A = this chain, B = another copy of it.
Amino acid sequence: MKISELAERSGVPLSSIKFYLREGLLPAGERSAPNQARYGPAHLSRLELIRALREVAGLGVEAVRAVLQQLDQGWEAQGDPVGEALRAAIAAPAQAPDAAAREELRAAEQEVQAFLEGLDWACDDHPRHLFADAIAASLVQVRRYLFPGYAAADLAPYARVAWLLSEVEYANSPDGPRVPMPGDDLTDPTRRAVLGSILFGRIFSALRNAANAMRSIRTTAGLPIPPPER
């Protein structure tokens, strides 16, 4: 296909495609005339990857380059190229996701809110603390880029794990769980809650990345997959 068709089919503006070609992120097409080149399905799928990394993962051009370099080393240089690419993407600082279409987002937020309020661990107070807005923003992108029919209710197994994790988090504090009561001074509890949430959030996120990487490596290599301890 010509570059104009590549732009149309990928949804990526012509100017961006030319930029990616100049930067070497997208390989040159096959020259078909002095001022024209032809592109194939590999260019299209590469472009969809670049677009996903830029728009959804929020990666800068250099981070995208790092991911693509891992990818291009392929199976020869390493046993787990997708894992290497993923590590490069996760290590890179991400920008905030772009604002999704307002109406789509609002509908998703209502759906997520209803799903969350139906969980046995939810309560009626403080509905904003169910974080439906954050979940809906990502759910909209899951539908757009991964699984078009994905429903909020499909998140039920994740919600079960989240509740189990919160039990672990409360029990795991060396001083025991400390929830301030009305009238208590809040400064130190706030400091501990904010830091604990952020630091253990980062730790758990890294453990999740590790667990997913190990599951992927074990699956690819045909190694046994230990069952989770419950």
Contact = CB atoms under 8 A, between A and B. Distances in A.
Number of identical protomers? 2
Contacts of A221: 123, 125
Question: Among A53, A67, A71, A191, which residue has the most Cβ atoms of chain B within 10 A?
Answer: A191
A126 B168 contact: no
Contact of A203 (B158, B201, B219, B220): B158
A96 B165 CA distance: 25
Contacts of A53: 191, 194
B49 A181 contact: no
Contacts of A160: 168, 228-229
Question: Among A182, A183, A190, which residue has the most Cβ atoms of chain B within 10 A?
Answer: A190
Given A81-B186, A85-B186, A131-B207, 16 more contacts: A42-B187, A45-B188, A48-B191, A49-B190, A71-B187, A82-B189, A121-B226, A129-B217, A130-B210, A131-B210, A134-B202, A134-B205, A145-B199, A146-B195, A161-B165, A167-B215
Contacts of A19: none
Contacts of A165: 158, 161, 165, 208, 211
| Range, interface on chain A | 35 or more
3 smallest beta-carbon distances between A and B, as pairs = A162-B207, A166-B211, A129-B213
A163 to B, nearest CB: 5
A216 interface: yes
Given A158-B207, A212-B169, A199 B75 contact: no
A203 B205 CA distance: 12
A218 B122 CA distance: 9
B177 A157 contact: no
Question: Among A75, A175, A207, which residue has the most Cβ atoms of chain B within 10 A?
Answer: A207
B94 A210 contact: no
A123 to B, nearest CB: 6
Nearest to A219: B179
Interface stretch (A10-18, A30-38, A136-144): A136-144
